[in-house]
Amino acid sequence: MQIKRPKGTEDITPAQVYKWHYVEALIREICALNGYAEVRTPVFEHTELFQRGVGETTDVVQKEMYTFEDKAGRSITLKPEGTSPAVRAFVENGIFNEPQPTKMFYFTPCFRYEKPQSGRLREHHQFGIEAFGASDPSIDAEIINVAMTLYKRLGLDSLELRINSVGCPKCRVEYNKKLKNYLSPKLGSLCETCQERFNKNPLRIIDCKEERCQQQIVDVPFMLDHLCEECSDHFDKFKDALDIIGLKYTVDPRIVRGLDYYTKTAFEIVTDKIGAQSTVCGGGRYDGLVEEVGGPSTPGIGFGMGIERLLIFLEKSGIELPKPPAMDLYIVGLGDAGIKESIRMIHRLRDIDIKCDKDYMARSLKAQMKYANKMNTRFVTVIGEDEINNNKIKVKNMENGSEEEIQLNQLLDYMKNKVQEAR
């Protein structure tokens, strides 16, 4: 029986991976411009991290995590999101003792057991950034601008930034009372998950995707109308910072995000180019999360962006990412002497950063030329016994068909000059 990849996962083949390399290189460049350094965290963590960080009332924790016991009986979870591990690393490595703010970014696989669909996989890859130690609303605007700069540099448009404030523990006390009073007579009509959320985190009911729940909360009171003075001031200054940068936005009081750790700022960047799964980036502030996982009271803010969904967005927008430069030189070796010389030559060329290759399949001369053309090689040369004896070879330009005759022992300098010209 043929073994196939698990449902909800995808292979990234050599023919596709250049797109990932291009996007990742651009992300690294933009993050460096904004002062964000890379962090790498384990693929799995102790389950408690996500129960405490993401929140036990979330769909992620209740329904979607890949959790198992290791051989010592410890509960381990493949990470479903990138923020909690980054926070854990910030605390465990004592980074909070260093000058603040700390600005991190990461690429990480994430694992969620959910129904696979376009742009939503059981294993997907996430680009995220996290900024710790700064409560200034201007850093909220900065991280959003990092995402918007990436989209702009990729040539993507048809984007809408939607923002909200989900308050803080102080103002949520009174708001939760109002929300529960509103929801209480409707409780029996809500889904089972929302009934469980009613006592633990009623704000999450607004985020429910069940149609019957949405019908019950059409006139629900919003957190945005019940902010304390501190949260209201923060939201106003956040909007001012967006205006200063020149980022257009829509205030959407229904944005609460799907994770329990959010406070104050919450945002989503959406598009109509990729169908129903329209959110291409989302995040917000989590001022209590560092303390929740055992660190000192430290403000934080970040976002997550799915790389697969970003690539779908590019495809739907008709944007082709540039392919990497082709092979610089393909050497056709003929006869024992020519084959030995081609082996020696390709390794000497590679030592000076010339991308080159040779035949490994005992192809004929004609077949090797076809292969070199298929591989989009810039130059081809043939080395046989005559070329070695005469110290002369012909280098063919595969783009225009022209040929130049040079001395064999000058091939390294010749190719070095050609590569420099191309750059």
| pLDDT tens per residue across span 154-172 | 999 989 999 999 999 899 8
Query: In the listed set 316, 339, 365, which residue is the last one of a domain according to the structure?
Result: 316
When mean pLDDT is compared across 73-82, 207-216, 294-303, the lowest value belongs to: 207-216
In a domain, 272, yes or no: yes
Q: How confident is the model at residue 22 (pLDDT cuts 50, 70, 90)?
A: very high
Q: Quick one: CA dihedral 174, 177, 178, 183, positive or negative? A: positive
Are 57 and 146 members of one domain?
A: yes
Query: In the listed set 316, 341, 370, which residue is the last one of a domain according to the structure?
Result: 316
Total domains, the chain: 2
List pLDDT tens digits, range 328-341. Answer: 999 999 999 999 99
Are 277 and 374 members of one domain?
A: no
List pLDDT tens digits, range 72-128. Answer: 999 999 999 999 999 999 999 999 999 999 999 999 999 999 888 777 899 999 999
Are 32 and 91 members of one domain?
A: yes
pLDDT at 283 > cutoff 60? yes
In a domain, 9, yes or no: no
pLDDT at 293 > cutoff 60? yes
Are 277 and 359 members of one domain?
A: no
Looking at residue 258, its pLDDT comes to 65
pLDDT at 306 > cutoff 80? yes
Domain span at residue 376 reads 329-416
Average pLDDT score over residue span 266-281: 87
Closest CA to 240 of 138, 367, 313: 138
Looking at residue 66, its pLDDT comes to 94
Looking at residue 116, its pLDDT comes to 81
The DSSP 8-state label assigned to residue 144 in this structure reads H
Average pLDDT score over residue span 256-273: 87
In degrees and rounded to multiples of 5, residue 322 shows phi and psi of -65, 135
Q: How confident is the model at residue 422 (pLDDT cuts 50, 70, 90)?
A: confident
Query: 58 CB contacts (<8 Å, ≥6 apart)?
Result: 204, 258, 259, 260
In a domain, 134, yes or no: yes
Are 157 and 234 members of one domain?
A: yes
Looking at residue 262, its pLDDT comes to 87
Closest CA to 192 of 172, 175, 212: 212
Are 82 and 150 members of one domain?
A: yes
List pLDDT tens digits, range 48-81. Answer: 999 987 877 677 877 899 999 999 999 999 999 9
In a domain, 114, yes or no: yes
Are 161 and 244 members of one domain?
A: yes
In degrees and rounded to multiples of 5, residue 186 shows phi and psi of -100, 0
Task: List the alpha helices (DSSP H) in 34-105.
Answer: 47-53, 59, 83-92
Closest CA to 409 of 327, 344, 339, 336: 344
Q: SS3 string of 224-260?
A: HHHCCHHHHHHHHHHHHHHHHHCCCCEECCCCCCCCC
Residue 355's CATH number = 3.40.50.800
Are 338 and 311 members of one domain?
A: no
* % of the chain surpassing 70 pLDDT: 99
In a domain, 99, yes or no: yes
In a domain, 252, yes or no: yes
Query: In the listed set 316, 341, 371, which residue is the last one of a domain according to the structure?
Result: 316
Are 32 and 106 members of one domain?
A: yes
pLDDT at 372 > cutoff 70? yes
Are 268 and 395 members of one domain?
A: no
